[in-house]
Amino acid sequence: MHDFPWRFFFILLANGVLVGSMYALVALGFVLIYKATDAINFAQGEFVMFAGFLAAGAANLAGAPWWLSTLLSIAGMVALAFGLERVVLRPLLGRPIIAVIMATIGLAAVLRGTATLAFGGGTQAIPLPIGGSPFLLGPLILPPIEIVGAAVSLAFLAGFAWFFLKSRIGIAMRAVADNQQVALAMGIDVRRYFALAWGMGGVVSALGGILWGSMLGVDNQLALVGLKVFPVMILGGLDSILGAVVGGLVVGVVESLAAGFLDPMVGGGTKDFVPYLLMIAVLMVRPEGMFGRRRIERV
């Protein structure tokens, strides 16, 4: 291995880290909801896509400036998340896990159909005031949108970590996640925190949608980002924010390296495939992930 392409390797690595922290942001939306409500959101990718469509629609159809379309997208996603929690997920409380999984899969189909009907099938751009010329760091070439995306993601991840550890609301949400009945007995309004968790999931999805949308363009394919969430989550542990960060970085780096080194060997497509192999390995060895909480089951 004397002529190992180090420069290529580092470019892939840096790229993987940046993309990975943006995966972490999308995964964060999943963790927030799972942590507080025990509900699994298979529609996370569609949430991201829908948020992207909202932002792109506000910017391109109504001509709103970028900050206004961002705010509109966030507000729209929060309203949507509140509504869905109320109409779809609340009636499913306490039902078998397949019910929630299928309901969010159904939701995904509805969101995909609605978005294409409302905004058209073409790819739209989200204009952000970020330069297009690549950022040079030593031998590395980094696209600025990825740097901004990574920075925003990490800021939000840190913010939510603080929120769950220190703030009163965050502690109440952890109590709800831990044991709903005990939380109720301690005077916590469980329903309110469920709605709040979905609202926060909406905010994070909106940010993810805007960042990913401005990087890839907004169309139906944007929802595929959601498929990457599962390896990220399983790797890191479903209910851990730190896990989402580490899982996101690992998946980002692994798929970037796979795309760089393995693709030429086997003819493409490893990017979507290797994270899942990694995930299967984790599931076999340590199902609760790196930072997840082990659950003890009783009859």
Partner 1 sequence: MFHRETGVFKSTYAADMALYPLPIAQWALAGVAIAFLFLVPYLFSDYMVTITNLILVAVVGALGLNILVGYTGQVSVGHAAFMSVGAYTAANLVTRLDAPFWIAIPAGGLMAALIGGIVGIPSLRIKGLYLAIATLAAQFIIEWTINHVHYISGGVDASIQVPPPVVFGTKLVTQRQLYFFLLFFAALAIVATQNLMRSRIGRAFIAVRDQDIAAEIIGINTFRYKLEAFAISSFYAGVAGVLYTYYLGIANYEQFGIDVSIDYLAMIIIGGLGSILGSIFGAIFITVLPEATRLFLQNFGGLFFSQGSILNIIPNLRLILFGALIIFFLVLEPEGLNRLWRNIRNYFRVWPFSY
Query: What residues line the site for partner 1 (CB under 8 A)?
Result: 40, 88, 91-92, 95-99, 101-103, 105-114, 116-117, 121, 230-231, 233-234, 238, 266-267, 269, 272-273, 276-277, 279-280, 283-284, 287, 297-299
Q: How far is the CB of 299 from partner 1 (least distance, A)?
A: 5
Rounded least distance, CB 250 to partner 1, Å: 16
Whose Cβ is closer to partner 1: residue 22's or residue 103's?
103
Q: How far apart are the C-alpha atoms of 299 and 297, rounded to whole Å? A: 7
**Closest CB to partner 1 among 172 and 258?**
258
For residue 136, report the phi and psi dihedrals to the nearest 5 degrees.
Answer: -100, 125
Nearer to partner 1, 14 or 49 (CB): 49
Q: Which is nearer to partner 1, 168 or 294 (CB)?
A: 294
State the nearest-atom distance from the C-beta of 289 to partner 1, in Å: 9
Q: Which of 201, 195, 146, 221 is nearest to 26 (CA)?
A: 201
Q: How far is the CB of 246 from partner 1 (least distance, A)?
A: 18
Question: CB of 57: closest distance to partner 1 in angstroms?
Answer: 16
Q: Which is nearer to partner 1, 163 or 230 (CB)?
A: 230
